[in-house]
Amino acid sequence: MDLKEWRRLAVQSVFLFLMVLAVGIFFSGHQSENSGNKIQAAAKKEEPIAETAESGGEEKEAVIAVQKTVKTAAKKKKQTVKSAKKKEYKHVIVLDAGHGGMDEGTVSVDWKYSEKNYTLTFAKRLKSMLEEKNIKVYLTRTEDIDMTKKARVAMANRVKPEIFVSIHCNAAEEWERSADGLETLYSEKKPHYGRISNKKLADILLEELVKASGREKRGTIVREGLYLLRHSEVPTVIAEVGYMTNASDMQFLLSKSGQDMLVKGLYNGILKALGEKKA
């Protein structure tokens, strides 16, 4: 084979190589384009999913934000209501309806009437009247139940009222049935805690009870042995509103007019002790 022939074959070989290379490049680019298109299409398909996920995240965050806002508003409202309740009352007192439940207290001579019922009636009426004056009144009992003296005092010491008034009816032995009238009992052991002394509180209540009812004034009496007076940590008095063993006092306690007068006396005495204008 001569030189000319070799040259012709070399040119053909180079040409074929270049053709093969061009075809390879063409198909390779086409496949890449197709792959790119597929990837783009897949990406487009996934975009809504990504957007949905992102949107869901935003919605979730929005819900959480709303919940937090609602909780914060509810908390503020609760605090506002709580503050309003605290500011609603000018004074705080505790009223004790003596006896209750199995403990009937003293009874009338004919055993028809029990002290526990009258003390509760007076305490409930006073609560209604005093709360109209923006005075918060706690009752040691609101129904006919047993309640220890310790529990009554514990309640008063916990609430820390300005005054603690325990309502009772009196009694005398058979040979002293002539004993009648009104008394208030107090302790001198803690005479000056709070804004008013026990003695002053006892004097005021007795004065107003006598003024409103016109009943016999027996006086203020020191009684250091009584649990209620001995353990109370706030100004405390026991108001004896009449002798159930005395015929005249018992009739007074039974009558509506008598009860009205005694309640009015206690009411005015409490207002005066708190520095408020009497009815």
Q: Which of 163, 182, 179, 162 is nearest to 171 (CA)?
A: 179
* CB contact set of 25 (below 8 Å; sequence gap of 6+): none
Helices (H), 106-255: 115-131, 149-159, 198-213, 227-231, 247-254
Structure tokens at 167: 């309502």
* CA angle in degrees (0–180, nearest 5) for 132-93-236: 140
Specify whether the CB–CB gap between 239 and 266 falls below 8 A. yes
pLDDT tens digits, residue range 22-81? 555 555 554 544 544 544 544 444 444 333 334 455 555 655 655 666 566 666 656 655
Q: Which of 148, 159, 144, 146 is nearest to 95 (CA)?
A: 159
Range with the poorest average pLDDT among 181-185, 207-211, 230-234, 275-279: 275-279
* CB contact set of 140 (below 8 Å; sequence gap of 6+): 94, 95, 96, 97, 147, 151, 152, 155, 156
For residues 188 and 211, give the distance between their C-alpha atoms in angstroms, rounded to a whole number. 25
Integer distance in angstroms from the first to the last C-alpha of the chain? 145
Whole-number average pLDDT of the chain? 82
pLDDT at res. 268: 98
pLDDT tens digits, residue range 81-133? 555 445 588 999 999 999 999 999 999 999 999 999 999 999 999 999 999 99
pLDDT at res. 5: 61
